[in-house]
Structure 1
């Protein structure tokens, strides 16, 4: 589950710093067994951004297949995940920052301008392209991530 929170022409992203480089991705994560998707999305966003979200309709879906960490590029073994991205809003009075249980290497959040997403290292890049362009509900497809270099 991933959250696409857009406000004033910018999208909320988790911000990671590794070796001085900044990398971004949408907040969200795994769903626990028996946990409803809405509850998982609210929990994951609170853990990563420190803010509660209100899940909305489907934005898009994509399948991720890789054997390297999406943010680190390190070998991790075979990884396969279906990501359901939902439009979300911030709950009243909430403002993102540092979450209660951020991901490894995460150093908070950032609002990235939709019309300049190509200037940032958003992973996977297909997500940034979709957010900057189409924004109709849909299937992005299978993303086979390989680190550069």
Structure 2
């Protein structure tokens, strides 16, 4: 049987470890995207690329062992990796759109507060500027 071949078994085990790491990375990226409202797909994309490279290496080993079954398994693995990459891209795009919407809402809210109370906004800006000036002046005195 093909899976009893030590080279094939080693490649399959290595692929399994890489796939588990990629899934963990995807879960962390999805949580980070939701929680921190930032695009965390970059590291995940690297992980998916590494997984695809590992899949290609596994396919090459399986093909070298000369089995039609191995070629079919390689195609299935490649399709799963492509599906995973597509899902990661979609989640990253969703997270980016959500973050952009949240920033737009915050900016609109800030603008509306300035329009509602322009004197208060100017006073707060002056107070913040004075506070920063005092901090900077205190550092120079050290």
TM-score interval for Structure 1 and Structure 2 normalised by the shorter chain = under 0.3
Give the TM-score of the pair, scaled to structure 2: 0.20
Give the TM-score of the pair, scaled to structure 1: 0.20
Q: Which has the higher contact order (CA 8 A, sep 6+)?
A: 1
